[in-house]
Structure 1
């Protein structure tokens, strides 16, 4: 075992169990000596779990005190281990490499967590906000403890699924150790935040709803529904989610957990799950044998699982939202920002006349100076 790696029985969050070079596919262009780390974190129902992350270093000598860290929380990539960011790279490399490259050019190292169950044992609890936040915080713990060239000061930046993860990280960073052990958490940037998804699920997760082939026109919606169903049946085995699904529904959730990665945030680079949904004319209304909200305590559990918090933030948050976004409910994200303001939270909202994917790089004009101010404090 290499020096500094965790003993087999040490599951302390942030303990590194292995390091390895990144694949070419997962290497940010322009970065140097990138690494894939596997570390312990907190998973489903608070159980110890392993997660992984890519660590990207800028070229040149680090500044005094080390490179400040951007913790990148990525958008949906799929559910299979092969879809992990630190293995497969981004679904949209042109977009994401340009985005992360801009951050690196500002003099930041990047730690990109995969989230529990992506590239590591076990299921990926899709949109489980607290578990995602644990993965992000513990990736920074692991990376900064392993690489002396990294500073302890860090911010979270996330898009789509990762926008939600960035929000949960901002809310729970203090609780999960993001400001301890030499770490100094400064705040978050979140674009395309999936807000109030938990309010829509009880309305649509029932037999016969939307009896049209959504996969033909909105494959992203259908894919997200299937990913959510997968996450719920992994996170709540006591619900027996399969018993609320038809054989057709169980088949498609199983397919969502298969080896095809997501291609729903834009033009797919490869043949992926979004293409399967589109070509198969998948009908969401045929997934269910009975409504999911017949599960006792369903609404409250779902809110705790994926409901983006409206209060409790201690560091500044910038929310960027595309007004032409059809992947997440733009109105819901705007409502979240307004409720946060009403609750006296340190939130800034910026909007863009763009879609879900286009907002990512357009938001840099606002997010780069915002993050610069966070690190200057």
Structure 2
């Protein structure tokens, strides 16, 4: 276990140490005041098309003394909302200095971050430049293997508008499209026929899982070789009920805000109480720590004038639309989950596994004994990433069903 915890940390340290010493650069401007993140004047073109790009310097440590020895581009690319409307999403494409000597084209990891928050300054593309992205260790591991990494900011995170937090139909498309965009950055030298692996945990696990289910119909040109997903909030009803009245209730507020943003017909803003309006405003302006701490032990019924809003037919329909495991992904899946996860119930992960098996998915299921939510990815993320590497190398998966 100690080895699994230390490997991601050592990988990030190694990447920083590979870089030449430098004087710390000034901090980059936040997305709210950075013109790069402004809305484009046109959304013409196809999903995955790069609307704008720029070279950037990334950092693996918060003091920003050692620039990461990689080539990186921030991109704004064309994607699609949960309701099928064209939108613009920001992200980052990273290519390591290590030559690719494996068979075929350099693989691309489509990386979906766990919960970052809802405010624009929570965007991963901003934190990667600022040197304080909490998931940098897994990105570094992928780069040290010679893989390219394409990180999505998700809809509304960095770019104008409210982030559609917890909406798999939106984040899955954004993840597939950042893989497309990576191959459309000419300087990156990546191929549209490269094997792509989707990787994510928690909110990122939801995005990766949704990408796996959407790929065959939405992005058949993306050569998805495998999906590694952990801590997946696969059924938002289950997650909401589990956290209602619990310490993670602020995340429920964030999810309700994200869903109401993605689906404007949902009754939410117009039925909020004064306390509800206050918490939603806090959620929209918070990153993950502030979001999680914003409303401990709160209850959804106290935030709206409808005490049972999730049973409204419109909410039930959209929650059902975002339930995962009802569509057979074309690519194999690695699903892992901590058995004592305090935020996303283990029972929900077992139900997801059973739904995958029922539709005939090629799934490898891995419970992580005695692991809570954060511990689950800390001790098993490296194994999940290595599994993805085998799939991108063309090795067959071993299904559990």
Aligned to 1:136: 175
- Structure 1 residues 31, 162: closer, same or farther in 2, change over 3 A? farther
1:105 matched to 2:141: no
1:197 aligns with 2:236: yes
CA shift for structure 1 position 189? 0.2
Q: Structure 1 residue 9: deviation in Å?
A: 5.3
Alignment of 1:94-243 (within 5 A): 96-147=135-186, 148-151=188-191, 152-177=194-219, 179-180=220-221, 183-199=222-238, 201=240, 210=245, 214=246, 218=247, 221-243=248-270
Partner of 1:302: 319
**Alignment partners' CA distance in 1, 2:129 and 2:295:** 20
1:50–1:121 contact (8 Å) kept in structure 2: no
The alpha-carbon distance between structure 1 residues 241 and 9, as it changes in their structure 2 partners (threshold 3 A), is closer
Deviation string 1:137-168 (CA, Å, 9 cap, x unpaired) is: 11111111114522421110001001011111
What CA distance in whole angstroms lies between the structure 1 residues aligned with 2:261 and 2:339?
33
**8 Å contact from structure 2 (residues 88, 155) kept in 1:** yes
1:359 is aligned to 2:359: no
Shift of 1:255: 1.2
* Alignment pair present for 1:68 and 2:107: yes
The one of 340, 344, 357 equivalent to 1:324 is 340
Matches within 5 A, 1:282-297: 284-290=300-306, 291-293=308-310, 295-297=312-314
User: What is the distance in 1 between the residues matched to 2:242 and 2:146?
Assistant: 45
Aligned-residue offset at 1:195: 2.2
Moved more, 360-369 or 145-154: 360-369
After superposition, the CA RMSD in angstroms is: 2.8
Tell me how far apart the structure 1 counterparts of residues 335 and 107 of structure 2 sit (CA, whole Å): 21
Q: Is the 8 A contact 2:215 2:329 kept in 1?
A: no
User: Is 2:287 the counterpart of 1:261?
Assistant: yes
The question of whether the paired residues in 1 share the 8 Å contact of 2:250 and 2:293 is answered with no
Give the structure 2 partner of residue 21 of structure 1. Answer: 55
The number of aligned residues is 345
Partner SS for 1:46: coil
Deviation at 1:121, TM superposition (A): 2.1
Alpha-carbon distance in structure 2 between the residues aligned to 1:310 and 1:13: 24
Q: Structure 2: which 5+ residue stretches go unaligned? A: 1-39, 395-401
Structure 1 residue ranges without an equivalent (≥5) = 1-5, 264-271
Contact 1:56–1:109 (Cα < 8 Å) also in 2: yes
Structure 2: how far apart are the matches of 1:328 and 1:229? 16
Alignment partner of 1:374 is 2:401:
no
TM-score by length of 2: 0.78
Separation in structure 2 between the aligned mates of residue 76 and residue 91 of structure 1, nearest angstrom: 18
Native 8 Å contact 1:99 1:361 kept in 2: no
2:80 is the alignment partner of 1:38: no
Task: Say if 1:95 and 1:361, in contact at 8 Å, map to a contact too.
Answer: no
Alpha-carbon distance in structure 1 between the residues aligned to 2:338 and 2:76: 34
Q: 1:29 to 1:74 in 2, by over 3 A?
A: farther
Note the alpha carbon deviations across 1:272-311, whole angstroms, 9 max, x for none: 3334445xx755542121121453343122110x211333
Partner Cα distance (2:239, 2:230) in 1: 20
